Amino acid sequence: MEYISRDEPLTPEGRLFTQQKLNIVMNCAIGFRNPIDIEALKTDFLNSYLMKHPRFSSLLVLDHKGREFWRKTHVNIDDHFIIHHNNQNPISDQSSNNEEHDHDDKINAILADFAVSSPLSTKKPLWEFHIISELKCMIFRFHHALGDGITLMSMFLASCKRFDENGGIELKQEDKVKERKKKKKGILRILKTVWWSNIYVMKFTGRSLWVKDKNTVFSGGDGVELWPRMVATAKFDLQDMKIVKRAVPGATINDVLFGVLSSGFSKYLTSQSPHGLKKGIQITGIAMVNLRRQPGIQEISTMMEGNSIGTKWGNKFGLFLLPIHCHTKSGENPLENVKKAKKMLDRKKQSLEAHFSYKTGKLAMSLFGPKVPAKFNHKIISNSTFTISNVVGPQEVSAFGGNNPMTFMRVTSSSLSCGIMMHMVSYAGKAEMQILVAKDIIPEPRILANCFQDSLIEMKNAALLL
């Protein structure tokens, strides 16, 4: 590789994601309808917005003081495309007698291997494509220091093409962003913001120091990030989620999702320890909250110019705690889970908890460097039970790598110290949630995935009866 002299320091958030216990690599599995044309994939990627982004043509380097920098370099595209022939990845732990699950099991087994002790080489820019031809699947791996899920998903989708069933393809047009109506901030709303912010900020602070969930069959902790992992996929129909959403006044898809999580975790705990939920159990998740609007194609093009990328792209998301009360109330209307989730999330939205986590993290980075905030982030995750993120993908069938429509988009990441990590991505009317678990904690993650799927079906059936 030939080096270009100008170096640029990592953003504070980027430095955080290079620390040992938060060294996160995102693994995005993308399925295709037709056999993969590798040369077409390379051509599309070279012409994509991603390749125009300077982070995708920069090395991560350290100076003599150990500070991280991006160093521009020329990219050899062949170094980043890794072809897997006759994949022999062992799938015995996740294999199924049902043939329709076999394809997913093979892909999930590969993702589970990537989740533990599989870093990206710093001798080249921190991304790569793994092509598994026999599964018609590619796995796009990139380091979290390059950016968060919202920015990178937006850039990737801006590079895709809308697939026409008649055999043609057309460039995706920029989605029209609906302007949000600004709510008038009356005195009551301001008081609520102050009230809920104080409560949730104190709980968040306690979680980063000593407060932790009680031990359950889900519990992880420090060191669990190194344990072997398994992956299962929970599949949802977005139309079913919309039916449930309409049945609960003012609800959102996120309200439905968190209602599904509450019900699904309760089902799983009941099946594993039916006597343990008589008094109820609270488990806590860490939810990733996007703190900017999702950019469209025009905005991406503008931000590619000048020096604006370094300040606007990267990682800009906050965290908030997501308490879930598991229960055994078998006679309760399934929609009550959504109503409770909506009530809790409405309060979260009124607070500044997510902004507090983001701002304090930046402040700690500027005062103490990355090691201190990395320690506190690791503590928060270790003291909680699960993490959850939700990224909106395209709602129409899209193509990449020539006229080859994508059939699914699924995301996982490097493992963290909690027992369960969940990432949901919606695509073409479906939503698929990857459930990454420590297999010594949850040896059958598909059972948990089925609990989530069954919960949504129960909610939809209850909504149709209204």
DSSP secondary structure string, 98-132?
SHHHHHHHHHHHHHHHHHSS-PPPTTS-SEEEEEE
Q: Are strands 386-392 and 281-290 parallel, antiparallel or unpaired?
A: parallel
Average pLDDT over the chain reads: 83
Max avg pLDDT among 82-86, 378-382, 413-417, 457-461: 457-461
- Which of 1-15, 34-48, 156-170 has the least mean pLDDT? 156-170
Q: Is 250 helix (H, G, I), strand (E, B) or coil?
A: coil
Residue 220: predicted pLDDT = 85
Torsion angle of the four alpha carbons 81, 84, 90, 91, in this order, in degrees rounded to the nearest 10? 80
Sheet of strand 137-143: strand arrangement: 81-84, 127-132, 137-143, 25-32, 406-413
Supply 68's token pair. Answer: 């991280």
In this prediction, residue 409 has a pLDDT band, given cuts at 50, 70 and 90, of very high
* Res. 29: pLDDT tops 90: yes
Determine the average pLDDT of the residues in 278-290: 82
In this prediction, residue 66 has a pLDDT band, given cuts at 50, 70 and 90, of confident
* Res. 119: pLDDT tops 60: yes
Q: Is 459 helix (H, G, I), strand (E, B) or coil?
A: helix
Determine the average pLDDT of the residues in 101-116: 91
Residue 87: predicted pLDDT = 52
> For residue 233, what are the β-bridge partners?
434
* Res. 395: pLDDT tops 90: no
Residue 16: predicted pLDDT = 85
Dist CA 227 CA 415 (whole Å): 9
Dist CA 318 CA 354 (whole Å): 4
Q: Which residues contact 110 (CB under 8 A, 6 or more apart)?
A: 29, 87, 89, 130, 132, 139
Max avg pLDDT among 175-189, 299-313, 324-338: 324-338
In this prediction, residue 308 has a pLDDT band, given cuts at 50, 70 and 90, of very low
Determine the average pLDDT of the residues in 137-150: 88
Cα four-point dihedral sign 132, 134, 136, 137: negative
Residue 327: predicted pLDDT = 76
Q: Decide: 207 and 383 in contact? Cβ < 8 Å.
A: yes
Per-domain boundaries in the chain = 3-164+187-464
Dist CA 273 CA 432 (whole Å): 27
Supply 327's token pair. Answer: 């229960």
Please state at what angle helix 238-247 crosses helix 445-464, rounded to 10 degrees: 50
In this prediction, residue 232 has a pLDDT band, given cuts at 50, 70 and 90, of very high
* Res. 98: pLDDT tops 70: no
CATH number of the domain at 3-164+187-464, out of 3.30.559.30, 3.30.420.10, 3.40.50.2000, 3.30.1490.190? 3.30.559.30
In this prediction, residue 157 has a pLDDT band, given cuts at 50, 70 and 90, of confident
Supply 238's token pair. Answer: 């977005």
Dist CA 438 CA 283 (whole Å): 17
Supply 363's token pair. Answer: 């402040």
How many C-beta atoms lie closer than 10 Å to residue 90's C-beta?
Answer: 10
Max avg pLDDT among 267-271, 294-298, 303-307: 267-271
Residue 331: predicted pLDDT = 66
Dist CA 298 CA 17 (whole Å): 28
* Res. 372: pLDDT tops 90: no
pLDDT in tens, 74-85: 999 999 999 987
In this prediction, residue 340 has a pLDDT band, given cuts at 50, 70 and 90, of very high
> For residue 170, what are the β-bridge partners?
162
Cα→Cα distances 404→83, 324, 345, Å = 18, 41, 39
Dist CA 46 CA 128 (whole Å): 13
pTM: 0.88
* Res. 240: pLDDT tops 80: yes
- Which of 175-184, 217-226, 318-327 has the least mean pLDDT? 175-184
Residue 230: predicted pLDDT = 95
